[in-house]
Structure 1
Amino acid sequence: MEPTKFFARRKFLKFTLLGVGGTMAAAAGGVGYLTLTNHFRSRYGALLVLDGHLADVVHALAEACVPTVAGFPTIEEAQVVTRLDEELFFVSDSISGDLKAALYLLEMLPMTYGHFSRLSRLSLTERREFLIRASGTKDDTVRAVIANLAGMMRWYYYGHPSTWNAIGYDGPYMSMPEKRSEQRVLYAKLVGKSAD
């Protein structure tokens, strides 16, 4: 065997192993980056669909879409994350999968706009500025994701009775107490909460 061919093969194997190892390290780093400490997850207790990271994304998005001034409840008080988790538990896998994909897209989108951080790690002011700026894009998919997810956050926020005084809503006309559906009772049981 000629020495030059032997070294060429060794060099090829070395660079191949380095390339494969580097790719694996980058993939592991990407997964680690997505699953870094969850800022908000611990506030919600058991969730059945929104894993730790998605709970952070939903909380951060909801916070950026609704008022954060005196007199308005917080995202936790309005139960936005837990209510969305409850709804997603009862829809088909394809619907919940599409919603998760949209949330992950929105989470990573700030990096394409010059931020060195994900949506859930931006400050509240930065999140709001980013959402306004990204809403003006010509990309229909991005506009649809932002508009629909923001609308969903507002739907769950303002649908909670804790927000009604702040917006001057007296509540349902008949003022009858809410009757929980079997689905809501089952969800409460599964996450270990009272169905009241």
Structure 2
Amino acid sequence: MCAICELKIEFNIGHPQALTVAVATREAMDTGVLPETQAEGALSNMKLRLAAIDALKGLQDRLEAAVPTTQLMALPDFYVLLIEIGTWGFFHATETGFDPDIQPEPPDVTSENQADRDVVFVSSEATMQAIMNGKLNIDTAFDDNLLILDASETHTKLLRSVLDRAFPVERGRAVNF
């Protein structure tokens, strides 16, 4: 699986686009586009964390299955932030898939210059699961700010190409696998 980041407490900075994604996610839940997040009781944070890890593993599996290793290796390293409880994943492609043992540094998410910032997807676990389950197409997720990619134009094109193969859209609808 990808590296699920257990980064230092000072890394709990989130991402400048996290609020935008949170507002869009709330609106999508209120209108029934996304299901409500269901985690209650004493173990709610643990349940949310496990759901986020499952979403990151699912993303990894879909990306690795969608394209040959050579295309994965051409991708930039990237982070994924799932906003519910601030779960970060780090994706670094190798010849055998994404490296599960890498220990990344906290990403740079605030530099003025895009080239100095790390590549980051910001989303919610609910959005990721809906995309993976074919209930939400990836283009709609991007259009509605349920999924934001903070990356240069070149990296955005590379990553969108792989995402489009991993999550194909047919006549405006997500293809359910």
Q: TM-score, normalised by structure 1?
A: 0.29
More strand by share: 2
More helix by share: 1
Task: Name which structure has the greater RCO, CA cutoff 8 Å, separation 6+.
Answer: 2
